[in-house]
Structures are given as C-alpha cells and as structure tokens.
Amino acid sequence: FPQVLDGEFAVVIVDLAARCVILSTDIFATKPLHVAFEGPYFAVASYESALRAAGFSVIQKVKPNCVCRIDLDNLSFLEIGTVYEFSAAQYRADVDGWIDAFERAVRKRVERCRERVFIGLSSGYDSGAISLALNKLPQPYNAYSVLGKEREDVLKQRTDRMCAQSIHRFIVPEESVRVRARKYLDAHVEPLFYKTYSARGDYDEFNLRLHDDSGATGLSMVCEQARLDGCKVYLSGQGADEIMSDYGFNGKRIYPHSNFGGLYPQNLAEMFPWPSFFGSSQESYLMKEEHVAGAYGIEARYPFLDRRVVQEFLALDHRVKNARYKSALRCYLDRNNFPTAFDVKIGF
C-alpha cells in the first residue's frame, strides 16, 4: 500500500492477524523513521534520541524508498519492497510536463491547508519557483529573506509580484540573532552529523555537525520568525540541487560533493541513482530541514521531491537537462518573466 501513497509520510502498521509490522517512509524518507532491537523488544520512533531515551542502543534508520517488515514472532527485520521505481529513460524534448508536475506538486501541498504557509525566499532558482507557483494559484503565504549575500534588487522585484494577502519580511542576521538561533538548536535538536560524499571518490565528509552548519542557523532564524507570525507549514526547496543540477553545471562542480558536475550523460541508467539522489547531501540536508523545522513545531513539505516532479525531470532528454544551469527551472522562471539572479548558487 505505500506504493499508492502520494506525499511526505512515515508510517508504521501493526498487523496482529499477520503477526507483523510494516514500516515505510516516502520515496526520499523526508520524514525520518528509526527502528531499534534489544533482546525480545523492539521500538520505532521518528528520532534516534527517543529510542536511546527508551533504553535502546542498536538503532538503524529505515532507508529511503524502502518498505520493511518486522516479524512479531522472531523479530526478523526484512526489506520487502520499494515505494516507487523511477525510470531513467530520457526522451522528453521539452519541459512542459515538468512544469505541470511542479505546479501540481505545490498546489497539492497547500490546498485545503488549515495553517499559514511560508517559504524562505532567496534571489535564486528554487525558492523563486515555489514563490512563482504560489503566486499563480494564488495562495497567500509568508516569505522570509536573510540579508547578506542576496540580491536585494531581485528580492524587491519578487515581493512586488507576491499575490494578495502575502507577507514578506527581511531577517537581518546580526550576531545576536545568529547566537540565539544556534543556542535554540543546541537546546532542541539532538546531536547529528552529516554524511556527504561524491561518486568520484575524492570527497567525503562524515563529521560536520548539523549545529555548526550555517544553513541550519539560517533556517533556525527563519523558523523562529515564522513561528512568531503564526506559520506552521514550510515549503522547502530541498532536492532541487541534488536532482536538477548535482551542484554543478557542464561538468564543473560548484561544491566538492558533486558527483558528475551537473553534466547528465546520454545513458542516464549507467549512473542512476547517483549517491545524492537518495543519500549523501540529500539525506543529510533533509535531516537538517526536518530537525530544525520540527524543533519549532513546523511541518516541512517538499515539492521538488514529489515523485512526478522527479520522474518528469529524469525523463528530459540529456541535451535539455544540459542546455543551461537547472534548465527546467530556468525555463519555468523565464516563461513567467520572474526576476531571478541567474547562474549563481548562494547559500546562507
């Protein structure tokens, strides 16, 4: 049944008649799920810290795109299937299908939502596309921009395009604000370490603490203000870099954990899935988004990781993918004349 679910989820189904427990996350494990075994006992929780507090020490995380089964009679733990099988065939000559899928992905994550939605708004591609899709619905939302490296002229043009009843706020990252955000993470987020690596084998990083990541601090500042403003649902841009650019372009890596420099091959099946499609920075940064947002009582949703959005991108001919940096996103923004700082990658 997880194969017919559509969205972000982590589920545990206890089937006493069949004497088993079924565990599954969504395709990319956007919602974490951990399982632990100790003698005749087992437990399942979102966070590893909850299992350690319950006295368990042997803990494993349920893998992305994986359906698992625990036998209640002998506590065997088996992977019994996948949530979704992507096709690596590249045949689409235009981005129309991707654009339709993306706008539908944003719509399904906000329509009939009883809580106020917000985004972190930069001058780049990912948040710009989400803002554009929300404006076209139209769906009122809050947008927060952290001043510093961002193009303020682009942000001003974007806020002028926001739909009615939407709100934009600048966050000034003064040192006192950053210190408060880091202290909040220290108090409310369990110790976590990123695991980022490259298929090229010349880079791996397994000891960067989430609390020391400037991106986590920036997100903490945004979530703090969003919560004060009564927002509880966050539309994240996570996944766009991992899937649509591989943190590079035309073979040149922007960051060292890029796998192929954003140059998609003619035969995608030869390298699919690359490490950061499910793991590496995808898994690490999803962990960041979930734990930081969760610490503020905020639910994160991920339109770029919608299964149809991802499949439509994979289906693009390699020449379409390689035409420009984040070509599908670029086409979407260009077609709607949406102000953007093109061909740059800016983080917190």
* pLDDT tens digits for range 12-71: 999 999 999 999 999 999 999 999 999 999 999 999 999 999 999 999 999 999 999 999
Q: Are 223 and 230 in contact (CB under 8 A)?
A: no
First to last CA, the chain: 39
Give the mean pLDDT of 201-207: 87
DSSP conformational letter for 209: B
Contacts of 68 (CB under 8 A, 6+ apart): 22, 23, 24, 35, 62, 77, 78, 79, 80
Contacts of 109 (CB under 8 A, 6+ apart): 7, 233, 235, 301, 303
pLDDT tens string 130-160: 999 999 999 999 999 998 878 999 999 999 9
Q: How far, in Å, CA of 210 to CA of 213, rounded?
A: 5
* Burial label, 252 (beta-carbon count in 10 A; 0-12, 13-18, 19+): exposed
Model pLDDT, residue 299: 97
Q: How far, in Å, CA of 15 to CA of 20, rounded?
A: 5
Closest CA to 99 of 293, 332, 263, 262: 332
